[in-house]
């Protein structure tokens, strides 16, 4: 029997998932960070990327995640992110439009804060397109 831990994944607009989990892989600035039951306590920053998690008795699940933070403490993980979407929730055309708009905006003169905000929008759009594409390929 596989050991589990409790995970709570919260987005700005909803509770994405709360419950038991066998494994969790979080995108961080240092690469993908894997968590299993009884992992040491830690805090970390989440970057836009692909979140992987496995619920007991289920298959591996994927989600497109934006920036945020996570905490592992006493065999419990709490994740707070700006946004998170399952592949089937992503509109590929909308994501592509957002990426194009962000790329065009990066070519304009802007403040440093606007530049970083636009970079974040571009990273989110590109990540959404990648996870949707991977999901659609695996469905066929």
Given a cut of 80, is residue 138 above it in pLDDT? no
41 or 123: which leads in pLDDT = 41
Residue-wise pLDDT for 110-129, tens only, equals: 888 888 888 888 888 888 88
SS3 (DSSP) at 80 = strand
Cα–Cα distance between 78 and 72 in angstroms, integer?
A: 7
Res. 140 pLDDT band, cuts 50 70 90 = very low
Provide mean pLDDT across the span 33-59: 92
Indicate the domain borders of the chain.
5-85, 91-139
What lies within 8 Å, CB to CB, of 37 at 6+ separation is 2, 3, 4, 5, 22, 75
Written as six digits, the tokens of 32 are 């993908």
Q: Which CATH architecture has domain 5-85?
A: Sandwich (2.60)
Q: Residues 84-100: what's their mean pLDDT?
A: 88
Collapsed DSSP state (helix, strand, coil) of residue 94: helix
């Amino acid at each position: 029997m596989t050991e589990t831990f409790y995970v709570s994944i919260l987005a700005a607009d909803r509770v994405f998932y709360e419950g038991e989990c066998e494994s969790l892989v979080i995108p961080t600035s240092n690469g993908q960070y894997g968590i299993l039951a009884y992992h040491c306590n830690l805090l970390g920053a989440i970057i836009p990327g692909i979140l992987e998690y496995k619920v007991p008795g289920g298959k591996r699940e994927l989600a497109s995640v934006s920036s945020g933070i996570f905490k592992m403490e006493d065999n419990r993980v709490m994740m707070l992110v700006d946004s998170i979407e399952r592949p089937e929730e992503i509109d590929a055309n909308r994501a592509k439009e957002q990426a194009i708009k962000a790329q065009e905006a990066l070519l304009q003169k802007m403040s440093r804060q606007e530049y970083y905000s636009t970079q974040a929008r571009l990273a989110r759009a590109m990540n959404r397109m990648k996870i949707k594409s991977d999901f659609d390929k695996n469905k066929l």
